[in-house]
Amino acid sequence: MANVSAYLSKALLDWVLGGATPVQPTSRLAALSLGTPTSVSGSEVGSASGYARQTALFGAAASPAGSASNTAGMTFGPFSSSNAIQGLFLADTVSIFSGNMLWYGTLLTARTVLPGDTLTVAAGNLLITLA
């Protein structure tokens, strides 16, 4: 994921250029998107489907590659209804439909989950990059 949300774009610019001092998020949660996420909309899966955001843990960024990957796997579900998953985004709070989106992107392959299914992102498979 190299896409930076509108919220994070401002926070990064403020921090680097000294315009303000944004607070570091206390948590980072992976969230699933029904549609293609954008810089201002995650199109998040609803909680009635058995879905919940998952804690995303990252190691130190690789240099000079400018990337960081998740250090632990994340499993969503089991789902109680069908959902067509198009993307994933990181947010700064556990509550669905709230908080600030940080990074976003589409899945390499869209997934349709059925009742009883889970969707897993293995350790090392979520890569955040700065380009």
Instruction: Look at residue 9 and tell me whether its pLDDT is greater than 90.
Output: yes
AA letter at 24: Q
For residue 49, give the 3-state DSSP assignment.
helix
Q: Give the separation between CA 1 and CA 65, rounded to whole angstroms.
A: 14
- Hey, what are 108's tokens? 């390499």
Q: What is the pLDDT of residue 33?
A: 96
- What proportion of the chain, given as a percentage, has pLDDT over 70? 98
Instruction: Look at residue 65 and tell me whether its pLDDT is greater than 80.
Output: no
Q: What is the pLDDT of residue 1?
A: 66
Q: Picking from 54-58, 63-67, 97-101, which range would have the lowest pLDDT averaged per residue?
A: 63-67
User: pTM for this structure?
Assistant: 0.90
For residue 101, give the 3-state DSSP assignment.
strand
Instruction: Look at residue 78 and tell me whether its pLDDT is greater than 90.
Output: yes
> How distant, in Å, are the alpha carbons of 14, 102, 103, 116, 120 from that of 7?
11, 7, 9, 34, 27
Mean residue pLDDT across the chain? 93
Max Cα distance, the chain (Å) = 48
